[in-house]
Structure formats: structure tokens, C-alpha cells
Amino acid sequence: MKLPRRKFLCLTAGAPALSAVSRIAWAQAYPSRPVSLVAGFAPGGGVDITARLIGQWLSERLGQQFVIENRPGAAGNIATEAVVRAPADGYTLLLVGSFNTINATLYDKLNFNFIRDIAPVASVMRYPYVMVVNPSVPAKSVPEFIAYAKVNPGKLNMASPGTGTGDHIAGELFKMMTGVDMVHVPYRGAAPALTDLLGNQAQVMFPSMPSSIQYIRAGQLRALAVVTATRSDMLPDVPTVAEFVPGYEAGSWWRRRTEGHIGRDHRQAQQGDQCWPRRSQD
């Protein structure tokens, strides 16, 4: 039976506030079988880690298994197309990030229309990127890195989870605003990119905080700066790029979405359903 999108939104977005409702009652409504949560990048990266945390949280509260399905490639486009083509029954979810909005402008021809074909369910998190280098790089600050890169043009490899990802765009913005010449090396996810960064096949990266903080805290990577406008509580002693490159700022977000419904349901999603959590007016 096809689950109405409005009912799905109410069930999923309202789950935290209804913990008193028994798992049996929830299972009779939604979900009545396992749900796939698709992540568009390889295991071990920020998208994968977040998907698994969200999947576990939903499984515990809704009484059904949420299975994480990794479909890496094309900066999330392969995963997005797979979800678009899935039955519109609420049992295939996609972890969406800023890379999806980037892809909409970066790629001229896609086999889907992201705005039309994917319907929002809930916001998950906002997070900063971190500018990190392999410890073999002598620079210990952003100004030192800029100076080092300028005397070594084209000799530093900048890793990213893929062309068009937020990590990539953050790095390209840094290159544009500082005038440094670095070689972009795209991977099929943050985990393989970080592996090569740890092995010094790449020298610099702008990964998400969830995917890189364990390496920073262990001293395996050196954090030069966070790329948001203000410092992060997670790394309070690490400055922002903007403290040395005025005007620089980047950030990202992840949201959970389901297969799209075209027409009236899509317009309602844009206008805001009654069960959708909304901020009160200031």
C-alpha cells in the first residue's frame, strides 16, 4: 500500500515527541518492514557515519530496522538517482547534503530533477569543514601554508570526496581567494580520501568535522583552521580561515529525504505541511 507523503512526514518528524507510544502501535502504522537509508559516499566518511547514527536512532524508536545502503560515486548523484527510481512508498530514504545542491548547478544533464523528484522529511545537522594537512607539511598555520604552497606551485595534492562535494568547493574557494596552486584529487568518498591524506599521497584536505575529528584529536592530521565564520566548540583552539583570509566562509548541512511526489504534494512541501516542525516567529 502506498503511504501518503503527509502521513509519512508526520510519523517520522514527530517520532521524538511521541516516545510514550508503544513500538507495536508505531509498527502497525509506519514502518511495517525494514527501511533503506541510502548514503551517496563510501563507508567511513561523514555521510556514512551520520547515516548510521540516524539509522540506529530511528530503529530504536520505530521498532524496525533502518538499513544503511552505500552507493558512492558522482558526488552523490548515483545514490540520488537510485532513490528517485525507488517506489514512492516511504521505504527508501536518502541522506542529502549540500553536495546535492551543488550538483544541480555543476552538472548540465542529470537523469532526475532534484527539486521535483525528492521530497524533504527532516533536517539532520549543520557542520563545519576543517582545513587539515598531513603532519609532513611544515606549515602550522594558514599563513604559513599559503606561503609554503606559493613556493611549491602545483606540487600539493588537495584530496576531496569527489568533484562537486562541499569539501571540494571549500578547497576551490580557498585557492581562488589566496591565489595558491594545488592539484585537486577527487575520490569516491571521504574515507578513501582521508586514507591517502594520512599516507601523504595527498597533503591537504577540507573534510567535514564528523569524518576527520578523530584523526585530528589523535594527532594523525594537523588542523590549521575551521572554515565557518566562527570557531567551533569541538575545536575551540583552532582558528577560522577568515581570521587570515577575510571574507572566507563555507559550511554544510545534511537532511533526510524520501522519494519525490510531483504536483500537489510537492507544492505542499514547499509551503510547509501542518505537521512539519517550524520555528516560531521572532
Indicate which CATH number applies to the domain containing 179. 3.40.190.10
Q: In this structure, is residue 282 part of a structural domain?
A: no
Q: pLDDT tens for residues 121-138?
A: 877 767 788 999 999 999
Residue 165 DSSP one-character state? S
Question: pLDDT tens for residues 188-247?
Answer: 888 899 999 999 999 999 998 888 999 999 999 999 999 988 898 889 999 999 999 999
Question: Do residues 107 and 139 both lie within one domain?
Answer: no
**Is there a single domain that holds both residue 139 and residue 218?**
yes
* Structural domain includes residue 276: no
Residue 69, domain CATH: 3.40.190.150
| Same-domain status, 238 and 262 | no
Residues 24, 164: one domain?
no
Q: Which residues contact 205 (CB under 8 A, 6 or more apart)?
A: 131, 132, 133, 158, 159, 160, 167, 171, 193, 194, 197, 212
Res 7: pLDDT: 44
Please tell me whether residues 105 and 40 are part of one structural domain: yes
Same structural domain, 163 and 194 = yes
Asked whether the predicted pLDDT for residue 278 surpasses 50, the reply is no
Bigger pLDDT: 205 or 25? 205
Residue 281 placed within a domain: no
Considering the domain architecture, whether residues 137 and 122 belong to the same structural domain is answered as: no
- Residue at 279 is within a domain: no
153 and 119, same domain (yes or no): no
What domain count does the chain have?
Answer: 2
Task: Kindly state whether residue 280 falls inside one of the protein's structural domains.
Answer: no
Distance of alpha carbon 171 from alpha carbon 16, whole angstroms: 37
Q: Identify whether residues 202 and 236 lie together within a single domain.
A: yes
Residue 86 lies in a domain: yes
Q: Do 90 and 176 sit in the same domain of this protein?
A: no
Measuring CA to CA, how many Å separate 118 from each of 82, 107, 208?
A: 11, 17, 24
| Whether residue 268 has pLDDT greater than 80 | no
115 located within any domain: yes
For residues 119 and 134, membership in a common domain is answered with no
Residue 236 lies in a domain: yes
**Domain region containing 110:** 5-127+253-271
Q: Do strands 204-205 and 222-226 pair parallel, antiparallel, or not at all (unpaired)?
A: unpaired
More confident position, 32 or 188? 32
Q: Does residue 208 share a domain with residue 262?
A: no
